[in-house]
Each structure stands twice: as structure tokens, then as C-alpha cells.
Chain A
Amino acid sequence: MLELYEELVVDILLRLPVKSLLRFRCVSKFWRDLIDSKYFIDMHRQQSINSNTNFHMMFQISSNQLCSCSEYFDNDGLKRSLTKIDIPMSRQTIGSRTQCFCTEIIGCCNGLLCTQFLDFDYALWNPFTRRYNKLPQAPKLEFDLLKNSKPFEGFGYDHVHDVYKVLRIFQIFYPDDFNRKNSIIRNQICVYSLRLNSWKYIEDYPYGDHNYEFQYNHNRGCFVNGASHWLAYPLILNENGFRVQGLEWSIVAFNFEVEKFSTIPHPNANRNGKSFQIDNLGGFLCIFEEVCETCYVWVMKQYGVGESWIKLLSLDLHSFKLEYPIADPDRYVQPVAYYSKNGEKLLMKTNFNTLTWYNLKEATSNIIRFPIKMGSYNAYMCLESLVLPYNVDDKEIAAQIQ
């Protein structure tokens, strides 16, 4: 009977899915400690990223359920790999009664999902290990008026300090002037760090109007290149010395490492169309617009470089099979994934239960009927990982096996 070197055994384990690894914790004490160690969790995540494996498409299908399928799928692959996942935070036992709450997904990073449930409670959740962690309560609002406004949130990872963070922005146009272009703006901005397990206030936010005009963004930042991104108008000073919203739109980035806001150059896109949104497509910052029944997908090939914006796709919707009549006001098209392993493909979501793989090279499309009604929820590309939704320091084990 041959025995393999420890190094080979670890290499084999690094290629196993999460469920197998959680089962194999029972093999021996060493295996349990290894699989639980931060060293192994990080190596496993890195191995999956490097080999482009263990990615899943996640669709929220109701206020308390997700479904996941393997990242690149056709009609058959979809049926094979489709799994429903209950969102555990949605079920809360209060006294002797279990109640169901609506949970919203704020973002997804390295296999962790950040969710918001009840009023302003947040949790980090790894759907692959089924572990979750309710975050401490965010700071109370400074002024009463904020109570009626909806927060804007972003979730991301600071890879320099190896910390997951949540950004929350409350913004109020004050006094309650409905013509917001002339009103004074006050903000309350805080950031949660998983390492410190606490919230703190950060610098002021010199932008306005993230959650009114850009409603298709669902009040969520998209995580690309260590920062959360969204669309907003920079603030300017008016003739009375008050900060008011400017007229030029911008892409705003919040860098999770330095915890600062900045403006990212945007493409020459027309933001007066039927829909306009910013997203993460296969790790690239992307702008999607629909103008005059044509969809345009812009991709920033080199992060932060304005000249690197390219128009990835112009798609005349008349040539595209849609479930709803083109003129139907409820009809929508939205890109959800960008896949370039075997030729460049773009996954588009059209209305409630149709997905389309669009082949960019051949300009052909492959329609996929989604067997479950998805509603208008967002879709996420999510890495299957062992990443913990809580903070554990286990330097001892890491030293032992390194």
C-alpha cells in the first residue's frame, strides 16, 4: 500500500468541492485541523480562482430562497446542476413562532454573500458551508429624517489586509425639497470590518442621488478590483455656499483598502435610455444601457483607464428573441455574466424566466428556459469556497502545516 507525501495529499484536497471537504474533516484530527485552517481556506480559494473552477451562478428566486447552478450551462446542464438554497437568515424564531422575513442580497465576494434582513440587520453568509454570522447593529441614525430613506450598501474584500467590509450610506436631501437639485445634502456613512467586528464612521461623501434616478441598481454597489462601484452625481457648491447635486453623472468607487471615494472615468454612454446600470461582468467593470430598443454593453478592459472602455456589444432587440413584446414597459434585458473560457459569451437575463447565452464572436444566441420563476432579482457569479463569515485567528495551525 503506497502512501503519498503530505504535499501531494494537500494538492488533491485543494481540488475538492466544499461539501467533500466538510465530510473529510472526519478522516483524522490532522485533516480536520488542516481543512479548518485559514491557510487551507485561502489556498483552496486561490486554487479555484486560478483554475477557473468552482464558480456558480446564483439567482435569487424569492425573498428567502436562492438557486445555484454551475457557471456555464446549457438547458441540460441547468437541470443537472440546479439546486435550491434556503436563506437561513430569513427564518427567525421569535418566542415559539418561526417567522419568515424578506432578505436582500447586497453583494457577493469570494463565496461570501452579504445580506440585509429585517430593518437594517446585516449578515455574512457562506451558502456552500451553510454558515452565517449576524453582524453587530450598525450605528443609529443621527437624525430622524434618515429613518424614511433607504440606505445604499456595498460589500467587498480588502485583499491587502485580508478583511471583508460592508459600506453603508444614508443620504438625505434636507430640508425635504422634492426638487433635489436645489437641496442641501447630509450623509451618514459607516463601514463595517469583519476583522474588527465593528462599524465606524468615515469621511464625507461628496456625491448625490444614488438611489433615485439609478433605480435599476437596486441600491447596491458592484464589487470590482477591490472597490464597490455605483453611479452618482458629484456635489457642487451653489451660490449660497450650500452643497447641491451637479448635473454630470459619474462612476463612484469606494476602495475597501484605503476606505476612500474616488471617481472612475466613464464611457461615452447615453444615460437617458430605458435602462442604465453598472455591473461586474467577469471581473470587469461594465456599463449597460438600452437606448431606442438597442442594448449596449460597455466593458472597462483595464481598470481605471478611461481609454480602455470598449463597446463589447450592440444588440438590436428586434433581432433578439424576447419573452415580452418589445414595447411592453415591464420588459427588460440585463447582462448577468461574461464568460470567456471557450470563446466570448455573455449571459443575458430577459424578464422573469429566460436566460440567453449570447456568443459575441458568432453573434448567435442560445436561449435557456429557466425552470423556476426568477422575478426581477439580481444574479451573481459566486465562488464556492470555505471562506468563513466570521473572524478566526488560527496562525498556529498555519505555521504548523507551512
Chain B
Amino acid sequence: MSKLGQAKRIIFLKTADGQLFEVDEPVAMEFEIVKSFFDENEDAADDTVVPLPNVSAEPLAGIIEFCKAHVEFRANGAAGKDEVKKFNAEYIKEKSNEQLKELILAANYLNIKEMLDFLTETIANRLKNKSVEYVRAFFGIENDFTPQEEEAVRKEYEWAFEGVDED
């Protein structure tokens, strides 16, 4: 760990697809998995490369972007303010469902609580007004009801099927 007065420390992360990332220490320490790597290897050299065999370059780049912005928000005392909400809304706006799933799997593996919460909430918001078919496709779930069974389950809360968005 860097000591006060020392130059800004850089952490090296290597993804499953072999890309090397150089990340500022405070941002990398947002990842619980990286933090515990250094906690367990206290004498690790400064240029140690932390392997991340379950994350590929694309989601990692997205995660670094998110964490970097949030570390800065916290440093500026902007946490919880409109600025953060605006950034978060912009951040997910252009993300496809597949990209969101990649990000949540990566955030889960890296164990970044704040981002995991945000992505969970985002996916829930994206799904809440959707149809049953859309949700099955999103999660890759096979329908194991017979048409008669499904009709019967649907009848139990027929009103919950009103006002659903187009897929």
C-alpha cells in the first residue's frame, strides 16, 4: 500500500483475454477482490499484476469508468447529489441488455458493492414493465409450463398483465 507523500500508485490488472490495465490505486481498491489480494499479500511488489481470470477487457473498461467517476464524486462531496444521478443515467443509457449482464457479472466477481446495487436496480427498472416473454428472453429461461398450466397461473393475477410495455 502507498504511504502518505509517495507518488500516486498504479495497480496493474490483467483480464481473461490478456489485456493489461493500469488503474489508480483508489479506483482499484473499490474492487473488493483486488483489495483483499493486497491485504493477503502485504509484501507484493508495486508492479505485481493482479490476474482477473473471470473478467474480459470490455466490461472492465466500463467498470473502471464508473468507479473512477464515483471515487471523484465522493472526494468532491457530491455523493447522493443530482450530478451523480445524471452521470448514472447517462452511463446506462446506451448499454444493451447483454452489456448490462456482462457488467453485473463482472461487478459481482470483482465484488464492488455500490456498482452491484446500482446495476441490480437498473436491470429491475428495465424489466418492471416488460412482458413475461421479454423476461424469459432476458434471462435465457425456458418455459416449463404447459400452455394450460401457464394460462391457469396467469388467471390467478390477470390484472397484473394490464399496462405492459411493448417488447
Contact = CB atoms under 8 A, between A and B. Distances in A.
Interface string A212-223: 000000000000
Interface string A1-44: 11111001101110111011011111111111000000000000
A130 interface: yes
Given A23-B160, A27-B135, A4 B101 contact: yes
A12 B157 contact: no
B164 interface: yes
A12 to B, nearest CB: 5
Interface stretch (B22-30, B32-40, B64-72, B141-149): B141-149
Interface residues of A, number: 28
Interface string B103-142: 0110010000000000011011001110110011001111
A20 B128 contact: yes
Contacts of A25: 153, 156-157
B58 interface: no
What is the interface of chain B mostly: helix, strand, loop, or mixed?
helix
Contacts of B123: 12
B145 A17 contact: no
Contacts of A13: 124
Contacts of B167: none
Nearest to B154: A26
With a 10 A CB-CB cut-off, give which of B101, B123, B136, B142 has the most chain A CB atoms: B123
With a 10 A CB-CB cut-off, give which of A1, A15, A26, A32 has the most chain B CB atoms: A26
A23 B143 contact: no
Contact of A5 (B108, B131, B136, B150): B108
Interface residues of B, number: 33
Nearest to B80: A342
Contact of A4 (B139, B154, B161): B139
With a 10 A CB-CB cut-off, give which of B98, B128, B129, B136 has the most chain A CB atoms: B128
A4 B104 contact: yes
A23 B153 contact: no
B153 A4 contact: no
Interface of A: 1-5, 8-9, 11-13, 15-17, 19-20, 22-32, 129-130
Given A5-B105, A8-B108, A30-B144, 5 more contacts: A2-B101, A24-B132, A25-B153, A29-B144, A29-B145
19 contacts: A2-B105, A3-B139, A3-B140, A4-B104, A8-B104, A8-B108, A12-B120, A12-B124, A16-B124, A22-B156, A22-B157, A23-B157, A24-B135, A27-B139, A29-B144, A29-B145, A30-B144, A31-B141, A130-B157
